[in-house]
Amino acid sequence: MKIGAGPRLVVAVPIKDLTHAKQRLTSVLCVGERGELARAMLGDVLRALAAADLGRVWVVTRDPAAAAIARALGAEPVAEAENRGHTAAVALAQAEAARRGVRVFLTVPGDVPCVTADELRQLAEGVREGAPVLVPSRSGLGTNGVALAPPDAMALTFGEPSFARHLETARQRGLIPRVLTLPGLGLDVDAPEDLAAILAERTDTETQRLLERWRARLAPVTTKPGSPIPTR
Give the domain CATH number at 142.
Answer: 3.90.550.10
User: Considering the chain, what is the average pLDDT of its residues?
Assistant: 91
Mean pLDDT, residues 86-104: 97
Tens of pLDDT, residue by residue over 13-69, are 999 889 888 999 999 999 999 999 999 999 999 999 999 999 999 999 999 999 999
Q: Which residues span the domain enclosing 46?
A: 9-217
Residue 229 located in a structural domain: no
60 within a domain of the structure (yes/no) = yes
- What's this model's pTM, rounded to 2 decimal places? 0.91
pLDDT above 70: residue 133: yes
pLDDT at 30: 93
Tell me whether residue 230 is in a domain: no
Is 232 part of a structural domain of the chain?
A: no
Omega before residue 183 within 30° of 0, cis: no
The pLDDT of residue 81: 85
177 located within any domain = yes
Does 155 map to a domain? yes
Would residue 1 count as lying in a domain? no
Q: How many domains does the chain have?
A: 1
Say if 85 falls within a structural domain: yes
Q: Quick one: pLDDT at residue 223?
A: 54
